[in-house]
Amino acid sequence: MESKGTTETNSQTDNKITRAQFTTKLGVIATTVGSAVGLGNIWRFPYETGTHGGGAFLICYIFFIFVIGIPVICAEFIMGRGTRSNIFGAFRKLAPGRKWYFAGYIGILASLMILSFYSVVAGWTIEYLIQSVSGSLALANPEDYHTKFDEFSTGNVRPVLWTLVFLLFNFLILRRGVTKGIEKMSNIMMPLLFLLLLVFCINSLLMPKAQEGLYFLFHPDFSEIDSSVLLGAMGQAFFSLSLGLGCMATYASYFSKKTKLIKSAGITASLDTTVALLAGIIIFPAVFTFNMSPAAGPTLVFEVLPSIFHHLPGGAVWSSLFFFLLFLASLTSTISMSEISIAFFTEEKKMSRRSATILNTAIGCVFGTLCALSFGALSDFKIFGLTAFNLFDYVSSNILLPFGGMLISIFVGWFVDRKFIKTQLSNDHKVKVRLMTLIVFCLRFVAPTGIILVFLNSIGII
C-alpha cells in the first residue's frame, strides 16, 4: 500500500504540491480502466461498428488504438503525473508563458459536451434497470423492443428525469473526492462487469446465427473503408480510451510516483479493447439470430440486449444485474470526465470543490436535458442537420477529441524536454524503459500525421 496525499517534488516544475493520490496499484488500474470502460464500449462501439460495416471498422479501430491511442495515453500520463496538475495547469507548467494552455479549454468544452449526451444514455440504463427489476422488460417479439424503446425515448418526461437522476448520482460521488469516491467503487465493479460479459458472450456464441454475427464483426471487407469509417474509428478509439481532453492526464496527476506509466497505458488499452470486443461478440450473433439490423444506430443495444436476456433462463435477474453494472460503469466514466472541469475550476479558478462540482452538474443538467429531448420534443431542432444529441456526440468524439489528442502528441513529442519524458517513464530512473524511442516517434510523427490525414480525408481534401 502506498500512502495517499504524499508531498512530492517534481523535477521540471519544481514545486511542492500536496494532492490526493490513488492508494493502491489495483486502484490505479481500476480507476483508469473504470474511466475507459463504459457506454463507449458497450453502447457506442457496437452501434458504430454496426453502422460502419462491421469488420472493416474493427480493423481501423484496432489500428488506431495501437498507433495513436497507446502513445497518446502515455503522453497524457506524462503530462499529468509529471506536473500533478489539471490539464490546463499541466500545459502552463510545461510551457510557461506560451499559449499551449488554450488546448486545455478544448478539453473542458468537450468534456462538458460528452457529459451531456452521455448522461442521457446512462439515464436509459436506469429506465431499463427499473423495467428489468419490475419484470416489464420481457416481451414476446424482438420488434416489440424496438417499439418499446421508441415509445420511451420519444417521451418528454422519463428520459429527462433519468438524465437528471444520473447526474445527481454523479454529483454525490464527485463530492466525496477522488480516492474515496472513485477508487473504491471501481475496484469492485470492474471485475464483476467483466465476469458478467463473459457469461453473456458464451451465451451468444451458442446462438443459431452466431457464425453470421462473428463473420460480420471480424471479417474485414477492405473496400468498405472510406472516410467516414476512418473518422468514425479514430473518434471511437479516442472516445473509448477517454483520450484527447486531458481526462487520463487528470487521473495520472493522482498516480503515485511508483506507478509504471507505459505498463498502465498498455493494460488500460488492452482491457478497454477486450471489453469492446466482448460487447461486439455479445451483440452481433444476437442481431443476426433475431433478424435485426446491425445498422440501427444509437438504439441498437437497447433493442438487442433485452431480446438476449429474454431468451436466457432467469432473464430478469441477468438483465437487472447487467443494467445495474452498466449504470455503475457509466458513473465511473462520467466521474472521470467531470473531474477534468472540476480540477480546472478548483485549481485554476480557485473555486471550492463543492462549488466546482455544482457548476459541473448544473451545466450537465441544462445540456443533458437538451440532448434527452432531442429524441422527443426537440427532434426537429437541428443544427447542421443533426439533433443536439447527435451533434454533441459527433463534434466531441470525431473532431474535438482527435484534435485535442493531436495537440497533446505534438506538445509532448516536440516541446516537452526529453529528460522530463524519460524521468516520468522510468519513475525517476528506477525502472527500465524500453519503448521510449518508439513512443516518442509515434508522438512526433505517426499520431499527428495520422490524425491530420483522417481529418483532411473526411473533409474531402484527399
State the greatest distance between any 2 C-alpha atoms of the chain, in Å, as a whole number: 65
With binding defined as CB under 6 A, does residue 39 bind ligand TRP? yes
Per CB under 6 A, which of residues 111..130 are in contact with ligand TRP? 114
Least distance from C-beta 392 to ligand TRP, angstroms? 12
CA 386, CA 384: separation in Å to the nearest integer? 6
Least distance from C-beta 167 to ligand TRP, angstroms? 15
Per CB under 6 A, which of residues 165..224 are in contact with ligand TRP? none
CA 250, CA 347: separation in Å to the nearest integer? 12
Q: Phi and psi (nearest 5°) for 386?
A: -120, 145
**Site size for ligand TRP, by CB under 6 A?**
16
Cross-strand partners of 18: 7
Least distance from C-beta 403 to ligand TRP, angstroms? 13
Least distance from C-beta 413 to ligand TRP, angstroms? 20
Among positions 41, 119, 203, 341, the unique one binding ligand TRP when judged by CB under 6 A: 41
CA 8, CA 257: separation in Å to the nearest integer? 8
Which lies closer to ligand TRP via its Cβ, residue 174 or residue 440?
Answer: 174
Among positions 36, 74, 210, 261, the unique one binding ligand TRP when judged by CB under 6 A: 36
Which lies closer to ligand TRP via its Cβ, residue 153 or residue 273?
Answer: 273
> Parallel, antiparallel, or unpaired for β 386-387 and 16-18?
unpaired
Contact yes or no for 100/410 (Cβ under 8 A): no
Cross-strand partners of 16: 9
Which lies closer to ligand TRP via its Cβ, residue 39 or residue 79?
Answer: 39
Output the CA torsion sign for 234, 236, 239, 240: negative
Which lies closer to ligand TRP via its Cβ, residue 74 or residue 114?
Answer: 114
CA 273, CA 268: separation in Å to the nearest integer? 9
Q: Is 302 left (phi over 0), alpha (psi -120 to 50) or beta?
A: alpha
Cross-strand partners of 149: none
Least distance from C-beta 195 to ligand TRP, angstroms? 19
With binding defined as CB under 6 A, does residue 35 bind ligand TRP? yes
Per-residue cell: 279: 460487447
Which lies closer to ligand TRP via its Cβ, residue 214 or residue 247?
Answer: 247
Q: Which residue is nearest to ligand TRP (CB)?
A: 40
Which lies closer to ligand TRP via its Cβ, residue 167 or residue 440?
Answer: 167
Q: Which region, judged by CB under 6 A, interacts with ligand TRP, from 37-45, 278-286, 344-352, 363-371?
A: 37-45
Q: Choose among 411, 325, 401, 357: nearest CA to 90.
A: 411
Q: Residue numbers of the site for ligand TRP (CB under 6 A)?
A: 35-36, 38-41, 114, 239-240, 242, 245, 247, 333, 336-337, 401
